Amino acid sequence: MEFKSLTIESKSAEIKTYSTLSVRDGQSVAVPGEQLSDLSRYEIEFEFTDSFT
């Protein structure tokens, strides 16, 4: 299948899972201030449009 043109539009979208991890001494550690609970509502819920040609 080949797409010559693709357009995606959304009236609403929501980030359900998001995290930023760093590796310290071989272990993954959550980065403070960079977790889903730290994002504002407008960063979690949004509208978007994207086109690829």
3 pLDDT above the threshold of 80:
no
Q: For residues 47 and 53, which has the higher predicted lDDT (pLDDT)? A: 47
Where does 2-50 have alpha helices with state H? 41-44
CB 40 within 8 A of CB 18: no
Answer whether 45's CB lies under 8 Å from 36's CB: no
- Strands 45-52 and 6-14 turn out to be antiparallel
Query: Residue holding tokens 């797409």?
Result: 3
Query: What are 8-38's pLDDT values in tens digits?
Result: 888 888 999 989 999 999 999 999 999 999 9
pLDDT value for 1 = 63
**pTM attached to this predicted model:** 0.55
Token pair 């043109």 is at which residue? 5
